[in-house]
Structure 1
Amino acid sequence: MTTTTRDSIRHVALSTARLPLSVPISDAKVFTGRQKPMTEVVFLFAEITTEQGFEGVGFSYSKRAGGPAQYAHAKEIGEGLLGEDPNDIARIGTKLVWAGASVGRSGVATQAIAAIDLALHDLKAKRAGLPLAKLLGAHRDSVRTYNTSGGFLNASIEEVKDRASQSIEEGIGGIKIKVGLPDSAEDLRRVAAVRDHIGPDVPLMVDANQQWDRATALRMGRRLEEFDLTWIEEPLDAYDVEGHADLARSLDTPIATGEMLASVAEHERLIDNRACDIIQPDCPRVGGVTQFQRLLALADQAGLDLAPHFAMEIHLHLAATYPREPWVEHFDWLDPLFNERLETKDGRMIVPDRPGLGVTLSDQARAWTTDSVEFGVR
């Protein structure tokens, strides 16, 4: 019997939603006066349906300004998906890049395409009846996980300690806290308090959110060595490749960075210059699964470890495909957007057996939608 795999996209729905945070969130960028506390996250959702009835959903996001711009760009290029074979993801991506070529191949344009690329990968995995990790080729069925959402600087040290205990009880393996305050002594006090609270055997990470200069980063890095940290994250400006490379050579503690970069090309500079020990790409920021896989191949060839940024619903699947043992960042902020939950056990996050990304948009996500557009026929 002969069957055909040819299908075509008949309907595209794009929407933007604002997820409010329960309390205003502050990292070091707020305390250095560069940003205001974060009160919401803005999402771009792409939902794609084919003639054969397959459906896929993907998303991008912005934690600060930029969410409306992502949605605006997606609206401009979205109609070009109609009639395309959804299996030809790379070719579609190239078409969308050229549709918006005048605004470049990084930043907002890349992040708008990422939501579509993710939806196409979700659809393809559902067609195969496989979790996305299995479709791409998994090395493992669970990934080490660490919590970040409990370690922000707006929380008192007692609150941070309580959240750390809760995370460990919930099966999360590591704890990350924010540093980078103008008062470095206070940073050290907070790190010492958390290390004492969780004990010497629980992995502990710190994140300075780009707020140190080179001299401060080296001095703090040396002071932090005593706490046996798993890594120091974003000690310098995200584009200071030379400075990160110097730190990576000078300190015993591994250096992690990459989340703020918005293309594979920008990450290539980090990799080529050995500017980190642990690379932290963000799939929605670099253009989706297609681009993320390109980046993983380069990182693996360079011998780097992996700890993707945010969006665990996506990055769990992608981290599971990395040959080296990775980490996934646990954030509970996105829980209201989806009907499903990810499982953590014994310090690891379990790859779900549901097809695709394994998430469906909740009624609350629909209620938070502020604008939407559709192309084609449902």
Structure 2
Amino acid sequence: MNSTRPTPRTPRSASRTGGTDGPAADRIRWIRLSSVGLPLRTPVSDAKVLTGRQRPMTEVALLFAEIATEDGHEGVGFSYSKRAGGPGQFAHARELAPDLIGEDPSDIGRLWTKLVWSGASVGRSGLATQAVAAFDTALWDLKARRAGLPLAKLLGAHRDSVRCYNTSGGFLHTPVGELLENASASLEDGVGGIKIKVGHPDRKEDLRRLTAVREHLGDEVPVMADANQQWDRPTALRMGRAMEEFGLVWLEEPLDAYDASGHAALAATLDTPVATGEMLVSVAEHRELIRASAADVLQPDAPRIGGITQFLKLAGLAELEHLQLAPHFAMEIHLHLAAAYPHEPWVEHFDWLQPLFEERPSISGGRMHVPDRPGLGITLSEQARAWTREEYETGGRP
């Protein structure tokens, strides 16, 4: 593990004496970045593995940003990558971090733009903005902690809990018997819905698994199906029609993530709502989905599109079109963002990241409850520190 401690920068004099930033503005004094490898208990496979496009997933790479100010306020945020990309996010964030020292942490929108333009030569989406997302989330966490409010309350919550569904028990590598056991266990733990993966080479196997799930759970339990972009248009239409009988809450990513017109045609044809968006890496890409009426349910991922600042922009666009919202993964962040969305949303429950935090989400009655702790309500665990592969610090800790 490599830890670097550069000489602290001296904040601008305006930070304590007034000027354009206002009297006695607080300043960012210290930042720590951590590259964390989270091992998965079992290699995970979905349709992308069965089609040979990806290898089974064995870990999640996390980029954590911890920020502290001169006045002693702190915040933590994270981004992530599955399979490749984690070291690249860390390297990019390491280059950007010194640009935040001495800045007012309240100026989150301006700082997002500053960081993005610092690395604009490698693009303003994708890995570059995913690195920025860790800083952006930490700044929002800091702002809410300083206000003494959960982030959802700071943003303007519409509800204190959000419908939640489980995905981590329904991957394609899971035998049917175990899949049913996992579904029952999730419901017993208070989760409200069950999502299973589809996309087997033998499409009849998908229908057999869905039939088993529906017979096991009954007609009243919300069930979703996720094809992970692995069908072509004719297959998606045939499978979508065949799945109508299961009363799915949605059919997720039946086509390539960038096939907006194909998703739009399916959404116009099927009774089952079409969901997509998790693989897109900018607000602009999601805007194309919205323009094309390609999704009944939009599934943005805050770390993937650049953080909370960008997610809020996208949520505004989605609200204007009266779209359902079901943010992808990272429930520790998305719970708060979903609670602040006007139309009743869903949050995806994964237990993968729980060892990284001291706290656990409160789930009951099919809903995940917004914590009453300030900010995101998370604290990095000793296990997260133990899984840290590389660290970088800049500035001087208060």
Return the TM-score normalized by structure 2: 0.94
Given the alignment of the two structures, is residue 317 of structure 1 paired with residue 336 of structure 2, yes or no? Answer: yes
> Structure 2 CA distance, aligned partners of 1:195 and 1:349?
23
Matched, 1:99 2:118: yes
Superposition pairs for residues 367-378 of structure 1, below 5 Å? Answer: 367-378=386-397
What amino acid sits opposite 1:370 in the alignment? Answer: R
Amino acid aligned to 1:176: K
Match of 1:355 among 366, 374, 378: 374
Mapped partners of 1:282, 1:147: distance in 2: 16
Q: Secondary structure at the match of 2:243?
A: helix
Alignment map for 1:13-162 (pairs within 5 Å)? 13-162=32-181
Map of 1:191-210 to 2, 5 A cutoff?
A: 191-210=210-229
Deviation at 1:308, TM superposition (A): 0.2
Q: Secondary structure at the match of 2:266?
A: helix
1:231 and 2:274 matched: no
Q: CA RMSD in A?
A: 1.0
357, 360, 374: which one pairs with 1:341? 360
- What is the TM-score normalised by the length of structure 1? 0.99
Q: Distance in 2 between matches of 1:250 and 1:105?
A: 35
Q: Which amino acid aligns with 2:340?
A: T
* CA positional deviation for 1:4: 5.1
What letter corresponds to residue 259 of structure 1 in structure 2? E
Matches of 1:205 and 1:19, distance apart in 2 = 26
Segments of structure 1 that go 5 or more residues without pairing to the other structure are none
SS in 2 for 1:340: coil
Question: Is the partner of 1:139 in helix, strand or coil?
Answer: coil
How far apart are 1:190 and its partner, in Å? 0.3
Structure 1 equivalent of residue 350 of structure 2: 331
- How far apart in 1 are the matches of 2:23 and 2:164? 41
1:87–1:170 Cα change, 3 Å: same
Q: 1:306 aligns with which of 298, 322, 325?
A: 325
The yes-or-no answer on 1:272 pairing with 2:321 is no
Measure how far apart 1:79 and its partner are: 0.4
Q: CA deviation at 1:181?
A: 1.0
Amino acid at match of 1:122: D
CA distance in 2, matches of 1:303, 1:343: 28
1:96-138 deviation per Cα after TM superposition (whole angstroms, max 9, x unaligned) = 0110010111100010000000000000000000000000000
In the alignment, the residues of structure 2 paired with residue 92 and residue 239 of structure 1 have an alpha-carbon distance, to the nearest angstrom, of 29
Cα distance in 2 for partners of 1:272, 1:296 equals 14
Alignment gaps of 5+ in structure 2: 1-21
Q: Distance in 1 between matches of 2:305 and 2:52?
A: 27
Change (3 A) 1:5 1:135: farther
Q: Are 1:165 and 2:162 an aligned pair?
A: no
AA partner of residue 277 (structure 1): D
Which whole-Å CA distance do the structure 1 matches of 2:61 and 2:84 have between them?
Answer: 9
CA distance in 1, matches of 2:388, 2:134: 16
Structure 2 equivalent of residue 262 of structure 1: 281
What SS class does the counterpart of residue 328 from structure 2 fall into? Answer: coil
Aligned partner of 2:205 among 171, 175, 186: 186
Identity of aligned residues (%): 69
**1:177 equivalenced with 2:196 (yes/no):** yes
CA shift for structure 1 position 212: 0.5
Q: What is the CA deviation profile of residues 314-337 of structure 1, one whole-angstrom value per residue up to 9, with x for unaligned ones?
A: 000000000000000000000100
Q: For 2:60 and 2:175, locate their aligned partners in 1 and report how far apart those are by CA, in whole Å.
A: 23
SS at match of 2:371: coil
Query: CA shift at 1:5, angstroms?
Result: 6.4
For the residues of structure 1 that align with 2:87 and 2:103, how far apart are their CA atoms?
A: 26
Structure 1 residues 113, 206: closer, same or farther in 2, change over 3 A? same
1:284 corresponds to: 303
Please list every run of at least 4 consecutive aligned residues from structure 1 whose deviation after the TM superposition is greater than 6 angstroms. Answer: none
Q: Aligned residues, how many?
A: 377
Cα distance in 2 for partners of 1:135, 1:184 equals 46
What is the DSSP-based 3-state SS (H/G/I as helix, E as strand, rest coil) of the residue aligned with 2:313? helix
CA distance, structure 2, for counterparts of residue 78 and residue 106 of structure 1: 18
Q: How many angstroms does 1:164 deviate by? A: 0.3
Secondary structure of residue in 1 paired with 2:134:
helix
CA drift at 1:283: 0.3
